[in-house]
Structure 1
Amino acid sequence: MTIWSVSTMAFITHYFKRPALDALAGLLALLLCGPVASVWAAPDDAPASTWPLLRVERADNALWLSAQFDFVLPPVVEDALQKGIPIYFVAQADLVRQRWYWINRTVASVQRRARLAYHPLTRRWRLSTGTQSAADVTPGLTLSQNFDTLPEAMAAVRRIVHWKLADAASLEPGAQYRVQFSFELDTNELPRPLQIGTLGQSDWVVNVSAALALADELTR
């Protein structure tokens, strides 16, 4: 089995500081009632704490993606979590075939959704994650984990391991492929009153994105 990894990548991370939360306080109060060898790659001058690290493996007739990244959890989001409001994150990865003679074609698209919630009675954090194809209506298998602290839970949120991207049979030998990765906070899953309150509020924006070109040997 041969494992190859990434060549180039780029990312953008957005975080905007918190404005006043007082206007939302009333709404929030109401809402409470086998072994593989691989290489991680990032730009040489990129701080490890800010640049996403992506890894692609080929094993068991499939491509697998792992990602490790960092972002600052906005204070307004942490405040909502502490009040018991669950927060949702969504990661998406697209495998795109690059074609010089025509528009690029998306070969595969997968999503990974995560729900983070604090349970005051147990004083523990619960993280539930599920994966699915971007075209599927229903999510796949959901995994739940419990953590004693928010930093421990966020460490798990910021790490994705061995995520199936595509079947190897969908690859054409000699073709050029690129993986486009994005991760963001999903405000559409917030309670309706809070959704209205977040409209136009940049302090609810968490957005990480990266792209990598696959080595030719990975597609053979």
Structure 2
Amino acid sequence: MKCAEDILLFRSNVICTTLNSCVSSRIMDPIRKDQLKFSCCIIDEATQCCEAESLLPIQLGIDKFILVGDPQQLPAVVCNKDAQKLGYGKSLFARIDDNFKEHVDNPIKMLYEQYRMKPEICEYPNKTFYDGKLKSFPIHINKIIPELKPYLLFNLMNAGNEDNSAYKNSEEVQLIYNLLDTLKKYIQSKCNYTIGIITPYRAQKELLIRHISDIR
């Protein structure tokens, strides 16, 4: 008797999974019994997986692959130094890109229009990594008034922490608090907006959460 998962699996036109879980018994068993058939596999972020991982879906009998990714962004994470030297961290996408760069029948199609960042932010990566080919088309929905600058850099000299911790910085936390408080007073428009704060360390994140909890 088929369970609910099997019924959903057999009736679905599109199945989303990770590369590792696509060869789980839940999917592979029906494949072996000719109860399930896939015609196409789309691998998103195909440059962030090693070549061996991207070949796993071949076991599903798929004969058409569409790789979506950007070889100028993060490669696969490979910690072993010997494996890195042998090129294990290079993706199938990146290898195809290298081999077909000068071919007229290059199978890789580049998307030239970007909507995720303002032209001022896009300018440096566009010149450095994409030969100036990107065209910016920012969409202003729920526009903040007065308009903020695309980006600002604040250089804190001799910033640190009282306990000399390498993973948190109280002076930077205070700066962020002041920035948030200033934005709250500065932005008078009725639009709904959110602010994201990114830090590489959990200790700094927890320190930030404690200090900005009173800001709404």
**With structure 2 as the length reference, what TM-score do the two structures score?**
0.20
User: Which structure dedicates a bigger proportion of its chain to helix?
Assistant: 2
Structure 1 length-normalised TM: 0.20
Higher RCO, Cα 8 Å, sep 6+: 1
